[in-house]
Amino acid sequence: MSNKIILESLIKNAKQGKVGKISVKVNDQIKIGDKILQVESVKGNTIIKSKMNGTVTSILVTEGIQIKIGQELIEIEKAE
């Protein structure tokens, strides 16, 4: 089953930011708490971490683009 990680919130209630370093690649195995990517905003940087175990199947953003709260970031095939 595929699940999406979305941008739920940013530091200090920022509404948007820029994708910084993406720390995963397609087919990477990730665990709960693993760093996925960093989002930079005028109020500071936010580290997005995995909330599930599984395999990265798709990366839906690229470094340097602007993103908003609620935007989908990656898809993960959740481990059973």
Per-residue pLDDT of 27-73, as tens digits, reads 999 999 999 999 998 888 999 999 999 999 999 999 999 999 999 99
Q: Residue 63 carries which side chain, given as an amino acid letter?
A: E
pLDDT reading at 7 higher than 70: yes
Q: Which residue has the tokens 């395999």?
A: 55
**Would residue 73 count as lying in a domain?**
no
Per residue, the 3-state secondary structure of 41-59, as one string, reads ECCEEEEEECCCCEEEEEE
**Would residue 16 count as lying in a domain?**
yes
Residue 64, C-beta contacts closer than 8 angstroms, at least 6 positions apart: 18, 19
**CATH code at position 58:** 2.40.50.100
Instruction: Of 38, 61, 34, 19, give the one whose Cα is nearest residue 74.
Output: 61
Q: Tell me what pLDDT residue 9 has.
A: 87
**Would residue 69 count as lying in a domain?**
no
Counted domains in the chain: 1
Residue 8, domain extent: 2-63
Q: Tell me what pLDDT residue 1 has.
A: 59
Asked if residue 10 lies in contact with residue 73, where contact means CB atoms within 8 angstroms, the answer is: no
